[in-house]
Structure 1
Amino acid sequence: MKMLKKAPLAIVAGATLLPAMAMANMHGQHSIGPNEGDREFSLSGTGKSSKDFDNGSAGVIGDYGWYLTDKTLVGVRQSVNYASVENGDDVWNGSTSVFADYHFGQGAARPFVGASLGGIYGDGVEDTGIAGLEAGVKYYVLPTTFVQARAEYQFLFDDGDSAENNFDDGAWAYTIGMGLNF
């Protein structure tokens, strides 16, 4: 009989402590997405256009990065592109850059903003510097696997003065792909 009197007290105590224990267990851990120290690899398709949409290209981009924190990713990006130029020869080119992205949120959808800096080279382009500001979203379909979409405003430069002058003559680059954290 004494046991039956203690049962409601145990149920109330357990019901009160269960959410607190669950919150303590989740603190500092993500059930989905990266953790500090994780690596990331993504493979994407890309398209670019001039700001007037009269020239365009398509290509493949590979990103490899490291999470400095749960939200800050730094890495290296390599692209290979085929370009169709109005009134000109079709060309192949590539770019190599470093990037840094900051991610928001902890759910399946992770918006991010960032910047990149590197070089562009190949047919039909003058080997030169390239910089960009980017924004996008990753959506985790599995705990470590995501699909992503990114838009980047890129501009070319030879030195600091030309970077400032060329910002207004940049182009948009669009990327859709998938990746994983490990």
Structure 2
Amino acid sequence: MNNVLKSTFIVAALAPSMVFAQAVSGEKEITISGQGASDNDLDTTDFSLTGSYGHYINDRGQVGIRQTLSISDREGESTDFDGATVGYYDHHFGRSDLRPFVGANIGFNYGDRTEETFSAGPEAGLKYYVLDKTFVQGMVQYQFLFEDGGDVDDNYDDGVLYYSVGMGFNF
């Protein structure tokens, strides 16, 4: 885990040497990603879907909201629903089809199997534009969980690492 955080900070340190993104201030963006898993008998099935809506506040900076819904269905048990809603800021780099970004997020986790708690942390990823306004995206997020401001220092090392791959559109 320390290697992931170190890599994120190295990318952030080298990023200013890259050419800035060609996104236009005021442009909007939506993304969607999902994942699922089942055991070999299909008795246990987990599925999650994440969507985001972002707005470029300048040529490089984007603010937005990201919503995740997770469904867990286990044989003999009720279906559980969990969610997470986070606000984020991402800073984009590059002018080519491959555009890295680094950012931060803060939000709230809730649901049937999730203890209701706040979350926050850094994120980094890559967008690869397959068309002028259409891209595939890979992202990694580190989120630490806390119930109030006093928990932030204590819980920073006890976070969760999330990976996602999806697609998005600018408009």
Q: 1:106 aligns with which of 70, 88, 95?
A: 95
1:45 maps onto 2:16 in alignment: no
Residue 58 and residue 111 in structure 1: after superposition, are their counterparts in 2 closer, same or farther (change >3 A)?
Answer: farther
Identity percentage over the alignment? 45
Consecutive unaligned residues of structure 1, counting only runs of 5 or more, are: 1-29, 48-56
Listed as ranges, the matches of 1:119-134 within 5 Å are 119-134=108-123
Listed as ranges, the matches of 1:9-28 within 5 Å are none
Residue 176 and residue 118 in structure 1: after superposition, are their counterparts in 2 closer, same or farther (change >3 A)?
Answer: same
Q: 1:59 aligns with which of 26, 48, 51?
A: 48
User: What TM-score comes out, normalization by structure 2 length?
Assistant: 0.75
The aligned residue for residue 39 of structure 2 is none
Residue 125 and residue 136 in structure 1: after superposition, are their counterparts in 2 closer, same or farther (change >3 A)?
Answer: same
Deviation at 1:61, TM superposition (A): 0.6
Conserved in 1, the CA contact under 8 Å of 2:67 and 2:86?
Answer: yes
Deviation at 1:63, TM superposition (A): 0.5
1:93 maps onto 2:82 in alignment: yes
Supply the RMSD in Å over aligned alpha carbons: 2.4
Residue 175 and residue 33 in structure 1: after superposition, are their counterparts in 2 closer, same or farther (change >3 A)?
Answer: farther
Deviation at 1:171, TM superposition (A): 0.8
Q: Deviations over 1:46-83 (max 9, x none)?
A: 58xxxxxxxxx651111101001121110011000135
For these two proteins, the number of residue pairs brought into alignment is 141
Conserved in 2, the CA contact under 8 Å of 1:75 and 1:98?
Answer: yes
Letter in 2 for 1:94: G
The aligned residue for residue 9 of structure 1 is none
Residue 33 and residue 80 in structure 1: after superposition, are their counterparts in 2 closer, same or farther (change >3 A)?
Answer: farther
- Structure whose CA Rg is larger: 1
Conserved in 1, the CA contact under 8 Å of 2:52 and 2:66?
Answer: yes
1:147 maps onto 2:136 in alignment: yes
In 2, distance between residues paired with 1:167 and 1:46?
26
Query: Would you tell me which structure has more helix in proportion to its own residues?
Result: 1
Consecutive unaligned residues of structure 2, counting only runs of 5 or more, are: 1-19, 37-45
Letter in 2 for 1:105: G
Residue 101 and residue 111 in structure 1: after superposition, are their counterparts in 2 closer, same or farther (change >3 A)?
Answer: same
The aligned residue for residue 148 of structure 2 is 159
